[in-house]
Structure 1
Amino acid sequence: MFEGDKNMSRRLLAIAAALLLAGCNVGPAYQRPPDDVPAAFAGRAGTVPVLPTTPWWLTLNDPVLNGLVERAQRANPDLGRAQAVIAEARAALAQAQGGGSPQLNAGASASYGRSFTSPNYYSRTAGFSTAGFDASWEIDLWGRTRRTVEAAAANAELAEAEADDARLTLLGDVARTYVELRGTQAAIETNNLTIENQRRSNELAVRRMAGGDGSRLEILQGSTLLQQQEAQRPVLRARAQILINALSTLGGEAPDALTPLLSPPGPIPQGPLPDPSVPADLLRRRPDVRAAERQLAAGVALIGAAMAERYPSLSLSGTLSVSGSSAANVMAMPVFAFSPSLRVPVLDGGQREAAVDIRRAQAEQARHAYRTVVLKALREVEDAMAQVGSLTQYRDQLKQTVVTAQRVVDTARSLYSAGATDFLQVLDAQRALTQTRDALAQAEAARTIQVVALFKALGGGWQAGPGTALAAR
């Protein structure tokens, strides 16, 4: 065997050994944090079993709300931006994956020249052409590229989770704003009814005064209460328009685009209280928890990528080219070159070690951030269940109070008409009825808003299971 052949064999063996080492990954292997959560939620009593199968807003049984949700999902610019972020993250993943592949480039050039010689200025022309390929490949000895791809994949999943979170937040805002609008419109109806009843009471006071049984003071007192109620009209109407403007923009339209659709009053949606199942399921449903977990996974992968920078790197490169002055002789002298290159870090002033420490610190930050998000998720579920439970009791009590307050008004008006009581008793009874009706409307709206908050806290995507009764509680 020739000496040159032996040298080539040694080189090939060294390259083969390097390729075998290419399966090594330095750095910590990622493990999902344990589900350190309670076995059950404390506020599950009184909930209605539901399954995480289809959109949660359908449980509110409001066609107008369903249409608003569809508009928002179709045209809201924040969702469009979130999709663009996903596309960017996926492109970054593809770029990282391509970084570990051999690179091949092709090139060609041609030149043409003419020279002149004296004294006869004889001209001579010449041409020269070159074509070839060059290839390079950095072997992933220590898993730097693989760790980078792992981090890029986690970031792509992070972008998807953040898009889900943006969508969940948007739909929660649509539902909450819509319920607030219906609550405001209920307050407007209460205000209109109060004005009508107060006018009737004032007419009664005028008739009694005309009959010699009343007084001018009673008429002034009734007029004052009537003016107070009338003064609330523009405030309530402005509040309703502001909410309509908000719903329009959430749907990606001009502020007043939905005024014709939403100006007619409608009932306040009443939804069921879903059973939150077990806290561990929450960690798999909530997009913000998934996003925090993926952020941690990416951080751990980048530790390995930084550690790989401390070790030697091996790259292979080669070229193949042909050249000549004409097409006939261009293949006469092909040129081939192969050059492995080994780079060994020696001194860097501690920069590579510092880079590893930075990545470790960033991963630790992500670990604590994940735990914070988990605790926040658990708290939001418990808070929403507590709020819904208390508001349900409050609403039910107010329903009975409204019936009683109406009886007091009717009785006071009858007694005043018969001269058995003064007009102040009628005004007090009317004021109490107004306050109770308004409180009931606000309690119904507040309860539904907390039901929406509970669905959002549970990660969305909930609806009743087959055969489950979902009466509004």
Structure 2
Amino acid sequence: MRIAALAMSFVFIGGCAHVAPELDFPVPDAPPLYATNLPPSGLDEVWWHGFDDPVLDMLIARGLDENLAIDAAAARLRAAGALLAAERSDRLPQVDGTGDAGVALAGDSEVTAAAGLFGLFNPDVNGRLAAEIRAAAADYAQAGYLQADERRLVAAAIASQYIEYRRSGEQLALLEQSTDLQEQTLRIVTLRFEAGLAANLDVRRAAADLAQTQARRGLIAIARADAANALAVLLAQAPGTFAPPASQTAGIPVYLRGPAPGVPADLLRRRTDILAAEAQLARAAAEIGIERADLTPSLTIPGTLSIGNGTFGGLFSDFLIGLAAAIDIPIFDGGRRRAEVAAARAVADARLAEYRAIFLDALGEVENALVAIDAYQQRNAALAQAIEEGETALSQSNALYREGLTSLFDLLDAQRQLIASRQSLIDSEAALASSFVAFHAAVGSDGQVNATILQEAAGGYGARATLLQ
């Protein structure tokens, strides 16, 4: 009874003395609107459906199921969940069994035996266990957010590589068209040379332009292979053995729905890397609580149950129950404990700075994507106009050259300008499609955060957990 009374007094004293550290989650300063704000339209929860490309939908679905980085993140999430369960179990009494048997050889041989139970309970009077649970819960939440962030990044990477694969395909098609056009010009120039109407220099110039165009084939093939191999890795396939199936739609994928950027503050609840940084900040706050707990007394209550009187025959004859209280009172450590608290606070300051930096980076990614979307839309319109004018100029130059009214230099120049404009339009259309991918990756609009993680973590994550659901 004296032990119990002493233990309860320390529980009371420790409970009054301990104040669990509460972390203030300052919302980073965010402008009310983005600097470039395009008119919103229907934002699909699954943003890549906005390209209306079944092949892309299939590739991303496969990637989200088979990608190895996502699998690794899922395994880390399971590990964090198991560690959280382990930390919570420390709040319960721990009981272990003991037993031994032997033979006493002195005098008459006698078989000896002993058995018993050993128990330990930590009432957590200084709050250390609670802080450790909060730290593990924050780790669990962070692992869940990082798994969702892998899905965000993998979906964006697959879409980007698919666009590059389609871009290289369009470049190859344009290469064939350009080669045919320049071969026709070379035939015309050769005929005129054979008829004495053109110099051999003109033949050489036309042949050089054709060779220059054909030389691009290898570079396009490299880009196409790079994109196919990158897609293979993202889908957990062996590079060199995979190529996307042919699409029923021609040209570069066109995004048809959006964007709907919302407001900058939305990033705080949609970007999974920001949420992961927030969980890491909560973990740092819990670490402060762990170190602060070491400044106050701690209490553990061990108990024993011994069975028998030491002989084999009397194994179940006697029972002995023991209960104690083990108290650890910090007195002097040369300042070590307070230094560890100061270190934990400094780590929390670093995590806060990282949290703000990640938010600013995300904000910059959205702004850059919005500017790029606007710029490439204008560029595509201008390039389409340039192609239309270039086709007219080439047609006129061809007619004039056949009549001997203009030089080959003018014809080749018109031809080069048209080919360059067509190449630039393909690249610009691919860049526009990639900008939409970058935008949706930046705003975190795939809705892949697992709510179960937050519910599991809420028991020890801290006050902020309910705000993250």
Same fold (TM over 0.5): yes
Question: Structure 1 residue aligned with 2:193, among 197, 206, 209?
Answer: 209
Q: 1:338/1:260 Cα in 2 relative to 1: closer, same or farther (>3 Å)?
A: closer
Note if 1:105 corresponds to 2:96: yes
Stretch deviating more after TM superposition (288-297 or 328-337): 328-337
Instruction: Map Cα deviations across residues 54-98 of structure 1 (whole Å, 9 max, x no partner).
Output: 321111111221222122222221111111111121122112112
Which AA in structure 1 matches 2:41? P
Equivalent residue for 2:36?
43
CA contact (8 A) 1:387 1:447 kept: yes
Corresponding residue to 1:144 among 122, 128, 150: 128
1:447: which partner in 2?
432
CA separation of 1:266/1:241 partners in 2, compared to 1, >3 Å: closer, same or farther?
farther
Contact 2:303 2:322 in 1 (8 A): yes
Cα distance, 1:152–1:47 mapped onto 2, change above 3 Å: same
| C-alpha deviation, 1:102, in angstroms | 1.3
Counterpart residue number, 1:119: none
Deviates more, 1:201-210 or 1:12-21: 12-21
Which stretch shifts more, 22-31 or 248-257? 22-31
Say which of 53, 56, 67 aligns to 2:47.
56
Q: TM-score, normalised by structure 1?
A: 0.89
Distance 1:462 1:401 in 2: 41
Deviation at 1:442, TM superposition (A): 0.3
Aligned length: 446
Question: Residue 32 in 1 paired to residue 25 in 2?
Answer: yes
**Cα distance in 2 between the residues matched to 1:264 and 1:387:** 27
Conservation of the 8 A alpha-carbon contact between 2:55 and 2:247: no
SS in 2 for 1:127: strand
SS at the partner of 1:259? coil
Question: Are the counterparts in 2 of residues 128 and 324 from structure 1 also a CA contact under 8 Å?
Answer: no
Q: Find out whether 1:224 has 2:208 as its counterpart.
A: yes
Q: 2:20, 2:342 → 1: CA distance?
A: 12
Query: Which of 377, 381, 384 pairs up with 1:396?
Result: 381
* 1:251 to 2:235 alignment: yes
Q: Per the alignment, in what secondary structure is the counterpart of residue 432 of structure 1?
A: helix
Report the more deviating stretch, 407-416 or 107-116.
Answer: 107-116
Q: Determine if the alignment matches structure 1 residue 170 to structure 2 residue 154.
A: yes
Aligned residue among 63, 71, 78 for 1:87: 78
Determine if contact 1:165/1:288 at 8 Å carries over to the other structure.
Answer: yes
Report matched runs for 1:233-312 at 5 Å.
233-259=217-243, 261=245, 266-271=250-255, 272-312=257-297
Report the counterpart of residue 465 of structure 2 in structure 1. none
Aligned residue for 1:258, secondary structure, equals: coil
User: Aligned in 2, Cα 1:326/1:115: closer, same or farther, shift over 3 Å?
Assistant: closer
The one-letter amino acid of 2:161's match is: T
- Stretch of structure 1 that moved more, 436-445 or 66-75: 66-75
Cα distance in structure 2, aligned partners of 1:262 and 1:365: 49
* The structure with more radius of gyration: 1
Tell me which of 173, 193, 199 is aligned to 2:183: 199
Report if the CA contact (8 A) 2:100-2:114 is conserved: yes
Distance in 2 separating the partners of 1:328 and 1:55: 73
Q: Secondary structure at the match of 2:295?
A: coil
TM-score (norm 2): 0.90
1:311-367 per-position Cα deviation (integer Å, ceiling 9, x unaligned): 111111111111247676333322221111111111111110011001000001111
Match of 1:429 among 397, 403, 414: 414
> Structure 1 unaligned runs (5+)?
1-7, 117-123, 464-473
RMSD of the alignment, in Å? 2.2
Counterpart-to-counterpart distance in 1, 2:182 and 2:247: 25
SS of alignment partner, residue 66 of structure 1: helix
Contact 1:41 1:382 in 2 (8 A): yes
Match of 2:322 in 1: 337
CA contact (8 A) 1:179 1:269 kept: yes
Higher mean C-alpha deviation, range 284-293 or range 208-217: 208-217
SS of aligned partner of 2:325: strand
SS of 2:296's equivalent in the other structure is coil
Q: Once the 2 structures are TM-superposed, how far is the Cα of residue 114 of structure 1 from its aligned partner?
A: 5.4
Give how far 1:219 is off: 1.4
Letter in 2 for 1:77: L
Moved more, 353-362 or 127-136: 127-136
Whether the 8 Å contact between 2:84 and 2:136 is mirrored in structure 1 is yes
Unaligned stretches of 5+ residues in structure 2 = 449-469
CA distance in 1, matches of 2:296, 2:309: 43
1:181-196 equivalences under 5 Å are 181-196=165-180
Instruction: Pick one of 314, 326, 336 that aligns with 2:299.
Output: 314
Distance 2:267 2:390 in 1: 44
The residue type paired with residue 113 of structure 2 is S
Q: Which range is displaced more, 410-419 or 428-437?
A: 410-419
Contact 2:306 2:319 in 1 (8 A): yes
Compared CA separation, residues 101 and 63, structure 1 to 2 (3 A):
same
Cα distance in 1 between the residues matched to 2:15 and 2:254: 58
Please give the alpha-carbon distance, in whole angstroms, between the structure 2 residues aligned to 1:433 and 1:418. 21
Distance 1:433 1:232 in 2: 16
Report the identity percentage. Answer: 30
Greater Cα shift, 429-438 or 187-196:
187-196
The match for 1:350 is 335
